[in-house]
Structure 1
Amino acid sequence: MRKWEGGFITNGEDVHCLLDRFSSASTCKFCPGIDWTHYQQHYFNVIRFDLKSVRCTEAPFYRVDSVNCKLWFELPSNAKLADKALGEVLCSACKRLVSDLNWQLERTMSESPSKKIKQQAASSRAKLTYMSPGSRMKRSQRAIMERGVDKRKLARYEATEVALADEQHTEMCSVMDAIDQVAADDLQCIFEEGEALGVGGKLREIWTTDKREQKEEFQKDQAKNVTGKRSNQWSMVTIRMALTIFTRSAAAYEALKSFDILQLPSRSLLQSYTGTFLHESGASK
C-alpha cells in the first residue's frame, strides 16, 4: 500500500489489486492512525518527545501513526464483530503504539520533581533524546555556567602565589630534586637494558602510554575528591605519587597538602601502606 501511495503502480495487476481493496465488498480496513490534536494535547505535551515508533505526517494531511502502520490491512478471522462492522480500525502496529504511548505517559507523570532536577544537572548522564527541549536548554545553560565557574577558579589559582617559609621551601626543593634525579636515573637504566635486548623502542612506547593514562587517572582523582571528605576514594596512581613524597619527607607532604592546591590522601591512609607511624618529636601525652 505504501508503494501505491507513493504513485508506484507499474502494471495492470497492481491496479486490479488496488481496486479490490477499495471496493465495498473488500474485507480490508483503513487504519486512521492517532488523531493529531489528541496526540499533541494528550501525549506530546506531557511526554515532551516523540517515541522512535511514532511517525508524524503533515502532507497531504496531518496524520500520526506507527512507522510500521499497514494503512490498509485485512482483519484476521478471529477479529471482534464490532471491528468488522467499523469502516476504520487501528492496525496492530498502531495499537502497539497507543499502548507504548500510554505506558510512557504514565511513567512521565509519576516522575518525581527531584529526578527531573537531577537530569537537568550538568553532570547528569541522562540521554538528551529522552528530555524535553526545555530540560535540554536548562542542562546546557548549567553546563555553560559550571564551565565559567571552573575557568574563573583556574584563573584565580594561576594568579595565586603560595608563599613558603625558608625551611619548607628548602625541604620541598630537596624532595623534588631527589625524586627527579632518582626517577631519571632509574628510567635511563631501564631504557639502556631495553636497547641491549632490542626492545628499547617498545619500552619507550609503553612509558609514554602509561604516563598519559596515569595523568588522566590523577586528574580524575582531583575532580571527584574535591570535597576533601574522609570517604574519598583514591586510585593507585595518586597513592603512589603521594607515597613518593611522603616517604622522602612527611613534613614536606603535610606542607604540600595544607596548601589545598592538590587533593591528596590523608596521612593515616599512607601510613597504612607503609606500615610506619611517624610521631612528632618530644614527649607524647
Structure 2
Amino acid sequence: MAQITAALVKELREKSGAGMMDCKKALAEVDGNIEEAVDWLRKKGLATAAKKAGRVAADGLVAVASEGTKGAVVEVNAETDFVSRNEQFQGFVSKVASLALSTGGDLDALTASEYEGGKSVADTLTNLVATIGENMSIRRTSVLEVSSGAVASYVHNATAPGLGKIGVLVAVESTGDAAKLEAFGKQVAMHVAAVNPLALDRDSVSAEELERERQVLIDQAVASGKPEEIAKKMVEGRIRKYYEENCLLEQTFVIDGENAVGKAAENLGKELGAEVKITGYLRFLLGDGIEKKEEDFAAEVAATLGQ
C-alpha cells in the first residue's frame, strides 16, 4: 500500500476542495492514486459539496419542534429561497429539528447525531448538498425546557408545518392546565415574532446595553439645553419607558392590546388557580446577521470570459 503523506493529502485537497479527513480516506481507498481519489470523492458527493461550501448561504428555513415541556429550534441555510420549497430539503430540516430536542442546543452534538440508516446528520447534509446542488449548513440550534407547564412554538408565514422564516419558542412554567398553557404560550410566541423584544425582563437586559441607552438619553437631554443634573433625572423616567418597549414581560400584549404580557400571564394564573410564569423565549430569524454578497452578474460573466 502506498504511503499517504501530508503532501499527497494537501495536493488532493487543492484539486478537490474536500476536507482533510475525507482526502486521507479517499487516498487510502485507492492506494494513493490522486486521480482515482478525486473520482472517489466525486462519487461520494464530497468534492461537489466542498466546492459549494465557499458560497454564501443566507436563505433556507427555520424549524421548530416541541414535545410538552421541551422545544427546539434550528436554522438550516441554503443559497436560494427556491430550495426552501424543495420537499427533500424540508424533510431534512424537520427531522433535524426533531433530533435537536435530544441534543440540548449543542450544534456539534446535533450534527454528529444519527440521522437514519447509520448516517450522521452531517453526512446526510453533505449528500443533500451534492444532490440539490447548493451550499447548505446547519447554522444554529437552541432548546428551551420547563419542569412543568409547556414550551409552545410558532412559525411565522409557514412554508410547511413547523417550517418558515421566523421560528419562536416560549417557555411557560406552571402546574395549570397544559392545553391552556400551550394556547397562551403560542399567543405569546406570536407576539415575540411580531415585536421582537430585546430581553425577557429588566434583569435580562445587559448592563452594557442599558448603560449605552442611558448615555444616549443623557446626551440628548443635554443637547436640548437641560443642565446635566436635570438631564440625568429625566433619563430615569425614559429608562422605564425603554423597559416597557423592550422587555417582553412589560410590553403591551399584541393579542389584547391592553395588558402587559406579564400581566396577561398573571391573569391566566388566577383563572387556572396556579401561578403562570414565562421563563424564557427564543426567536430565530432566518439569515439574521449573515452578510449576503451582492452579485454583479455582468461583471461575473465578463470575468469568466477573461475580459
- Bucket of the pairwise TM-score, normalised by the shorter protein: under 0.3
Report the structure, 1 or 2, having the larger strand content: 2
Greater Cα radius of gyration, structure 1 or 2: 1
TM-score, normalising length from structure 1? 0.19
- With the length of structure 2 as denominator, give the TM-score of the two structures: 0.18
Structure with the higher helix share, 1 or 2:
1
